[in-house]
């Protein structure tokens, strides 16, 4: 696959603070790359540089092998993390406004159908619900029929139904072989939508690969979950390592049979035992730690 | 410069302004309220210039006691408490006070009105302090005493009322507020809430965006100014001695210069509070020093010079020259040239320093 975007030694500093610390990244055509990381990891700064909105302190960004010029805006679709729309104009007028800003635009009726906007086309943008607003912002990002699409936390603040509805829209866009760069806090979203993920922390990319590759690379164990009620955790800790969360015990195990033997030896009731694989949530916490980020 | 992009932003901005009923209503009603208020306040054409207290006897007796009491433009007020009335003279609340019973009067030595009234009362005799003792000045003074040296010549003409003088200032002031806050404040709000950031991600250039803002606001400001001008002119019978075309021209250039000030203030800041403070800091001195409410002729020369840095001063002076003095195109060239220069300079700096985020 040809790289659509190549990022080399990208650095962005704000005074003495380094938000992006020399990252390298290759984005292949038709791939959806998820950029994950805790708050303040440098995701939004990175994506804004790749969008051409912010300038890097140093490093280079090549689009189709060339430095990003003015023509890049014609072929890129962008959905920002938080964007206000011009007030006192309708959804239809907003789409028409943005359509006229590009040399060529996608047919508005198709966008309306694809993003399910038809029910509120004549509604003032101030009176849209969260889900309607995000769908309109996605339609605006698609209005120039972009070859590359940037989605910065597109489902933040949406209810589960709206989020899943939004995922379907993005899945549909992916079918059109568009290149997508997505940032998100939702690991499930990254798992469902992204062909590859890159995890950022402290301005650096600390892991990169497909979700399955990364999980296989960082975990070769399963997780056993038990209710903590009735378990003598003091005695159990002498025999096995475990993590207690709320009223539940989590045991990471590479040998399920051996672990079950230990539990039975402690006369622990296994009626409510659950065994699961590691998820991206586990990977995220393993790589970025458990401490709260501002 | 893409006309398609420029027109798209212009259209959206116009929709926003027209549909924001509160802003639209305020832009129309504000100047009408001010002009109507002043028209009402100054509706009495027979305005008394001085206020004189009269103690004792009836007003008819006062009229008969001295021709002074028949002088026009003096408001003679009956007072029933002499001591309180004297205090009012001390406080300049009465220009003069008469006690008809004792045949006495009071004036305040520091009151110019009292001085003039006393001269009227005594038939303008030479003031003791004004009389030269000897020399050429004394000779001249003697000649001036000869009333026959002055021949009375009467002229007639329509009075320029305060409201006639005020209207160009109020229209210009409305343009100033509409331009500064309607452009400056709105762009800062766009920047703060991310509208500008979203537009930056499109092929729209800063020049196209700024031109659309200027033209949009210019069209709206001029529409409002014309409607308010026609309405107040018809309602209050405002005179017009010059050319409507020249007046339109000076209002267009004045509006562009005021919009340019708004753009310059909004070029970089993302704080509505900061922008609001700067806009107020600029608009209020401009309003008072540019001669909206009173003539600048009497103010300190330094302030008169300071007022020349404000585009509002040139807009108001030019508009008054056309409306009240009948100034022609050649007469207003200095105003037009100054406003053009200011607009070009401010627009250039504003466009150069403009940032989307």
How near does any CA of chain B get to the CA of A77, in Å?
Answer: 8
CA–CA separation, A268 and B55 (whole Å): 112
Ramachandran region, residue A233 (left: φ > 0; alpha: ψ -120 to 50; beta: rest): alpha
Q: Which two tokens stand for residue A281?
A: 């949530």
Provide the b/e sequence for B96-130 (b: ≥16 CB within 10 Å).
bbbbbeeeebbbbeebebbbbbbeebeeeeeeeee
Q: Do A101 and B19 touch (CB under 8 A)?
A: no
For A81, name the nearest residue in chain B, comparing CA atoms only.
B194
| Mutate which: B11, B201, B206, B216, vs A, most A CBs within 10 A | B201
pLDDT of res. B137 = 46
Q: What is the pTM of this model?
A: 0.76
pLDDT of res. B127 = 52
Would you say how long chain B is, in residues? Answer: 357
What angle, rounded to 10 degrees, do the helices at B162-179 and B21-41 form? 160
Q: Do B8 and A97 touch (CB under 8 A)?
A: yes
Q: Do B193 and A84 touch (CB under 8 A)?
A: yes
Q: For chain A, which ranges sit under pLDDT 70?
A: 1, 290-294
Q: Tell me if A146 sits within 8 A of A177, measured CB to CB.
A: no
**What's the distance, CA B76 to chain centroid?**
31
Ramachandran region, residue A33 (left: φ > 0; alpha: ψ -120 to 50; beta: rest): beta
Q: Which of A106, A105, A133 is nearest to A117 (CA)?
A: A133
Long-range contact set of residues A247-255: C-beta below 8 Å, sequence gap at least 24: A249/A225, A250/A223, A250/A224, A250/A225, A251/A223, A251/A224, A251/A225, A251/A226, A252/A221, A252/A222, A252/A223, A253/A221, A253/A222, A253/A223, A253/A224, A254/A220, A254/A221, A254/A222
ipTM above 0.90, yes or no: no
Residue owning tokens 């409410």: B293
Q: Where are the beta strands (DSSP E) in chain B?
A: 50-55, 74-79, 96-99, 104-106
Q: Tell me if A28 sits within 8 A of A198, measured CB to CB.
A: no
Give strand pairing partners of A253.
Answer: A222
Provide the b/e sequence for B219-241 (b: ≥16 CB within 10 Å).
ebbeebbeebbeebbeebebeee
Q: Do A103 and B203 touch (CB under 8 A)?
A: yes
3-state class of B240 per DSSP?
coil
Which residue in A94, A100, A140 is closest to B4 by CB distance?
A100
pLDDT of res. B343 = 94
* Domain segments of chain B as ranges: 3-42+161-353, 50-125
3-state class of B134 per DSSP?
coil
Per-residue pLDDT tens over the stretch B323-342? 988 899 999 999 999 999 99
Q: Do B201 and A78 touch (CB under 8 A)?
A: yes
Partners of B357 on chain A (C-beta within 8 Å) are 53
Mean pLDDT of each 10-residue bin along chain B, 357 residues long: 90 88 78 74 67 78 74 86 88 87 88 89 62 49 52 68 86 90 87 89 90 92 89 85 95 95 87 87 88 79 89 94 92 95 92 87
pLDDT of res. B63 = 63
């Amino acid at each position: 696959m040809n790289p659509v975007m190549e990022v080399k030694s990208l650095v962005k500093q704000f005074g003495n603070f380094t938000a992006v610390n020399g990252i390298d990244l290759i984005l292949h055509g038709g791939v959806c790359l998820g950029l994950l990381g805790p708050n303040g990891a440098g995701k939004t700064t990175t994506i804004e540089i790749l969008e051409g909105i912010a300038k890097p302190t140093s490093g280079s960004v090549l689009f189709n092998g060339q430095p990003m010029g003015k023509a890049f805006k014609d072929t890129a679709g962008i959905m920002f993390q938080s964007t206000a729309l011009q007030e006192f104009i309708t959804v239809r007028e907003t789409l028409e406004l943005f359509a006229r800003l590009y040399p060529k635009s996608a047919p508005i009726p198709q966008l309306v159908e694809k993003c399910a906007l038809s029910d509120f086309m004549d509604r003032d943008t101030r009176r849209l619900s969260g889900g309607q607003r995000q769908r309109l912002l996605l339609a605006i990002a698609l209005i120039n029929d972009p070859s590359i699409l940037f989605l910065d936390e597109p489902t933040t603040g949406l209810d589960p139904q709206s989020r899943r509805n939004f995922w379907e829209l993005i899945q549909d866009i992916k079918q059109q072989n568009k290149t997508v760069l997505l940032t998100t806090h939702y690991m499930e979203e990254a798992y469902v939508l992204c062909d590859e993920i890159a995890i950022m922390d402290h301005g650096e990319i600390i892991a990169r690969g497909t979700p399955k590759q990364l999980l296989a690379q960082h975990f070769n164990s399963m997780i056993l979950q038990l209710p903590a009620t009735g378990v003598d955790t003091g005695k159990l800790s002498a025999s096995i390592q475990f993590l207690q969360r709320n009223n539940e015990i989590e045991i990471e195990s590479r040998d399920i049979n051996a672990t079950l033997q230990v539990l039975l030896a402690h006369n622990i009731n296994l009626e409510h035992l659950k065994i699961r694989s590691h998820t991206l949530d586990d990977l995220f916490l393993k790589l970025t730690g458990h401490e709260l980020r501002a | 410069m893409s006309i398609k992009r420029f027109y798209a932003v212009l259209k959206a901005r116009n929709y926003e302004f027209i549909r924001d009923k509160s802003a639209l209503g305020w832009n129309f009603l504000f100047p009408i309220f001010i002009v109507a208020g002043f028209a009402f306040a100054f509706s009495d054409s027979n305005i008394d210039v001085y206020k004189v207290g009269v103690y004792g006897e009836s007003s008819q007796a006062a009229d008969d006691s001295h021709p002074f009491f028949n002088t026009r433009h003096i408001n003679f007020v009956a007072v029933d408490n002499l001591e309180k009335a004297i205090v009012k003279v001390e406080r300049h609340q009465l220009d003069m006070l008469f006690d008809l019973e004792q045949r006495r009067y009071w004036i305040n030595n520091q009151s110019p009105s009292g001085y003039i009234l006393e001269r009227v009362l005594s038939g303008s005799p030479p003031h003791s302090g004004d009389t030269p003792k000897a020399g050429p000045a004394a000779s001249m003074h003697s000649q001036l005493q000869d009333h026959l040296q002055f021949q009375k010549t009467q002229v007639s003409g329509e009075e320029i009322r305060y409201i006639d003088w005020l209207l160009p200032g109020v229209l210009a002031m409305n343009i100033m507020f509409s331009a500064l806050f309607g452009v400056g404040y709105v762009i800062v709000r766009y920047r703060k809430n991310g509208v500008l950031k979203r537009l930056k991600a499109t092929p729209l250039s800063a020049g196209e965006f700024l031109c659309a803002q200027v033209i949009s606001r210019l069209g709206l400001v001029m529409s409002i100014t014309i409607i308010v001008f026609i309405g107040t002119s018809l309602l209050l019978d405002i005179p017009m001695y010059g050319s409507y075309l020249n007046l339109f021209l000076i209002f267009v250039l004045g509006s562009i210069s005021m919009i340019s000030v708004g753009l310059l203030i909004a070029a970089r800041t993302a704080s509505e509070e900061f922008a609001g403070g700067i806009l107020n800091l600029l608009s209020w001195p401009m309003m008072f020093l540019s001669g909206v409410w009173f003539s600048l002729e009497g103010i300190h020369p330094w302030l008169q010079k300071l007022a020349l840095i404000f585009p509002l001063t040139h807009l108001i002076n030019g508009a008054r020259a056309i409306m009240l003095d009948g100034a022609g195109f050649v007469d207003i060239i200095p105003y037009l040239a100054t406003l053009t220069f200011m607009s070009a300079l401010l627009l250039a700096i504003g466009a150069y320093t403009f940032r989307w985020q």
